[in-house]
């Protein structure tokens, strides 16, 4: 069977990773969260004092990019992939507000994107994958077999992010999250290097009022309509 590449792009906190994980599990594909990779670089920069008062020490960060080793490993208890930075599990540390606040600036850096995009392309080589992010269908895998562009209303996205942080036992303020999402949308869409945009051949999924089950049913219907469906079954 030809290994399929399913690219899922869209705005922050619109449920991309939940949806991508569910699809990957259903099809038995590997799931790759590219946002976690940008978050891991941001954590590295924060831990090494390369971000001070919002200003990034670019020469220092770019010179240390080769020291970064980002991988995903499956947690046997939860069955979920977890992000590792230089062999340390950082799955929790990369989700903090401090990282969320700085990640858009870090992910706008050309050298960072080049390194991560080439890592992502290598991860998808000859493998069936579901990859989510902002530029998967446009830059990482422009020839992906299925491209989905996800969106949801700002209120729904803020609520989802709030619920996620609370569920993880992290402190969160609704206003702060809402501001952070608006800021990230703006930076993600207007940056020079591979900004967030919908690939012309992507199919839009607005899941503002859809449950996870409804989204899966939507995906199953979509599979039936695509010629690629034959290769999946």
Closer residue to ligand DC, CB minimum distance, 182 or 228: 182
Closer residue to ligand DC, CB minimum distance, 137 or 219: 137
Tell me how far, at minimum, the Cβ of 198 lies from ligand DC, in Å.
14
Residue 227's H or E segment, with its range, is none
Helix, strand, coil percentages in the chain from 3-state DSSP, rounded to 5:
50, 20, 30
Q: Residue 21, interface with ligand DC (CB under 6 A)?
A: no
Strand intervals (E) in the chain: 5-10, 30-33, 51-52, 55-56, 70-74, 81-85, 88-89, 129-133, 146-151, 203-206
Residue 54's H or E segment, with its range, is none
Residue 134 CB-density burial (10 A; 0-12 exposed, 13-18 middle, 19+ buried): buried
Q: Which of 14, 56, 107, 130 binds ligand DC (CB under 6 A)?
A: 107
Q: Measure CA 77 to chain center.
A: 23
Q: Which of 7, 12, 40, 91 binds ligand DC (CB under 6 A)?
A: 12
Tell me how far, at minimum, the Cβ of 35 lies from ligand DC, in Å.
3
Closest C-alpha among 2, 8, 5 to residue 233: 2
Closer residue to ligand DC, CB minimum distance, 104 or 207: 104
Q: Residue 133, interface with ligand DC (CB under 6 A)?
A: yes
Closer residue to ligand DC, CB minimum distance, 40 or 128: 40
Q: Residue 188, interface with ligand DC (CB under 6 A)?
A: yes
Q: How many residues bind ligand DC (CB under 6 A)?
A: 13
Encoded tokens for 199: 């690939």
The runs of H, that is alpha helices, within 140-211 are 154-167, 174-190
Stretch that binds ligand DC, among 76-84, 130-138, 162-170, 223-231 (CB under 6 A): 130-138
Q: Residue 215, interface with ligand DC (CB under 6 A)?
A: no
Tell me how far, at minimum, the Cβ of 28 lies from ligand DC, in Å.
23
Q: Residue 39, interface with ligand DC (CB under 6 A)?
A: yes
Tell me how far, at minimum, the Cβ of 230 lies from ligand DC, in Å.
29
Q: How far apart are CA 107 and CA 134, in angstroms?
A: 10
Q: Residue 38, interface with ligand DC (CB under 6 A)?
A: yes
Q: Residues in the site for ligand DC, rule: CB under 6 A? A: 12, 34-35, 38-39, 103-104, 107, 133-135, 184, 188
């Amino acid at each position: 069977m030809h290994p399929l590449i399913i690219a899922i792009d869209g705005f922050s906190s619109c449920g991309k990773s939940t949806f991508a994980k569910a699809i990957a599990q259903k099809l038995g594909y590997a799931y790759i969260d590219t946002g976690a990779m940008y978050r891991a670089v941001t954590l590295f920069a924060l831990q090494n004092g390369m971000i001070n008062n919002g200003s990034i020490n670019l020469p220092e960060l770019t010179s240390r990019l080769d020291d970064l080793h980002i991988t995903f490993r499956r947690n046997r208890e939860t069955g979920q992939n977890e992000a590792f930075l230089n062999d340390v599990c950082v799955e929790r540390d990369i989700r903090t507000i401090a990282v969320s606040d700085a990640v858009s600036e870090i992910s706008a850096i050309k050298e960072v994107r080049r390194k991560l995009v080439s890592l992502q392309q290598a991860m998808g080589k000859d493998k069936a994958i579901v990859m989510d992010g902002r530029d998967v269908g446009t830059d990482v895998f422009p020839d992906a077999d299925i491209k989905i562009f996800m969106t949801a209303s700002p209120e729904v996205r803020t609520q989802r992010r709030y619920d996620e942080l609370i569920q993880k036992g992290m402190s969160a303020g609704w206003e702060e999250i809402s501001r952070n999402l608006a800021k990230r949308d703006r930076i993600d869409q207007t940056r020079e290097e591979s900004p967030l945009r919908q690939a012309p051949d992507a199919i839009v999924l607005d899941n503002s009022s859809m449950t996870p089950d409804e989204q899966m049913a939507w995906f199953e219907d979509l599979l039936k309509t695509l010629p690629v469906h034959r290769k999946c079954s």
